[in-house]
């Protein structure tokens, strides 16, 4: 499966990748390429391999078979710390450092990268707070003093503060209310359009997958069963599982 436009370079590629945990195949012979600057949503049932696939991009999980390539380089040959410094990672519930302020949380990775250049780090923090839509008057607050939506925005700002090439997002909005979630979806779309960053976004919500993704990757039992633009997923489901996933949405999106 190839998500590249004609002539486009792959930011991430999975070359016949498989991963087992015990006797279970978490990821089973996934073979696809994701173009630079693409927003890919990944959807499927619980336990279908979505999060495992995501974690293989930043070498938190290594494949048993095949290769994961990031900008053409196999993760098996990369320094994992250096690799992760160029990949943002935002997860459900934000998981902020509770003993650090908003500013310190966002500044955490830039501080490591900027070798004591406080002005550069401060500029990065303010830049991403502005882009994410966080008021600067919360910079001195601690995570316990934030609303759910604010905490999730801080988590995304922290993931992006080092200006990574790739953002991995594992159900980042699932723990917030529907109104806040809609607002965060608008923000992540705007950020993608503004920065051109490559995004891999795991979700359980078919509406979210269809609305956000340039391409939608549908996983079933560890296999990539369809990788296509949202309109193709709706028009021509590749399997019965995909058909069941989108059947209630086809009439809505056809209006």
Residue ranges of domains in the chain = 1-84+214-255
Res 191 pLDDT > 70: yes
| Residue 5: both structure tokens together | 């436009």
1-84+214-255: CATH topology is Rossmann fold (3.40.50)
Q: What is the pLDDT of residues 211-224, one digit of tens each?
A: 999 999 999 999 99
Per residue in 238-254, pLDDT (tens digit) is: 999 999 999 877 655 55
What is the per-residue pLDDT for 66? 97
Which of 227, 176, 182, 236 shows the shortest CA–CA distance to 207? 182
In this prediction, residue 248 carries a pLDDT of 72
Closest residue by Cα to residue 30 from 45, 42, 44, 19: 19
Whether residue 52 is predicted with pLDDT greater than 70 in this model: the reply is: yes
Is it the case that residue 25 has pLDDT exceeding 50? yes
Q: What angle do CA 97, 99, 105 make, to 5 degrees?
A: 45
Assess whether pLDDT exceeds 70 at residue 8.
Answer: no
Average pLDDT over all residues of the chain: 89
More confident residue, 3 or 197: 197
| C-alpha–C-alpha distance, residues 207 and 189, integer Å | 14
Report the alpha-carbon distance of residue 157 to residue 169 in Å, rounded. Answer: 12
Tell me the pLDDT tens digit for each residue of 12-24: 999 999 999 998 9
Percent pLDDT > 70 in the chain is 94
């Amino acid at each position: 499966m190839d998500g590249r436009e004609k002539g486009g370079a792959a930011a991430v590629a999975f070359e016949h990748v498989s991963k087992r945990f015990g006797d279970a195949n978490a990821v089973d012979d996934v073979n696809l390429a994701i173009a630079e600057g693409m927003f890919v949503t990944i959807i499927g049932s619980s336990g279908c391999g979505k999060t495992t696939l995501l974690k293989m991009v930043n070498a938190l999980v290594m494949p048993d078979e095949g290769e994961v390539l990031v900008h053409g380089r196999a993760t098996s040959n990369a320094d994992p710390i250096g690799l992760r410094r160029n990949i943002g990672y935002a997860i459900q519930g934000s998981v902020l450092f509770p003993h650090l302020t908003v500013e310190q949380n966002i500044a955490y990775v830039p501080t490591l990268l900027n070798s004591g250049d406080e002005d550069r780090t401060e500029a990065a923090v303010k830049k991403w707070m502005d882009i994410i839509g966080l008021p600067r008057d919360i910079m001195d607050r601690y995570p316990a003093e934030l609303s759910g939506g604010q905490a999730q925005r801080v988590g995304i700002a922290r993931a992006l503060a080092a200006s990574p090439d790739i953002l991995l997002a594992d159900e980042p909005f699932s723990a917030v209310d529907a109104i806040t979630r809609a607002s965060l979806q608008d923000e992540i779309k705007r950020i993608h359009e503004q920065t051109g960053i490559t995004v891999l976004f795991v979700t359980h919500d078919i509406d979210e997958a269809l609305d956000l993704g340039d391409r939608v990757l549908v996983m079933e039992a560890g296999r990539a069963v369809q990788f296509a633009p949202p309109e193709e997923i709706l028009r021509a489901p590749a399997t019965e599982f995909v058909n069941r996933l989108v059947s209630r949405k086809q009439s809505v999106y056809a209006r």
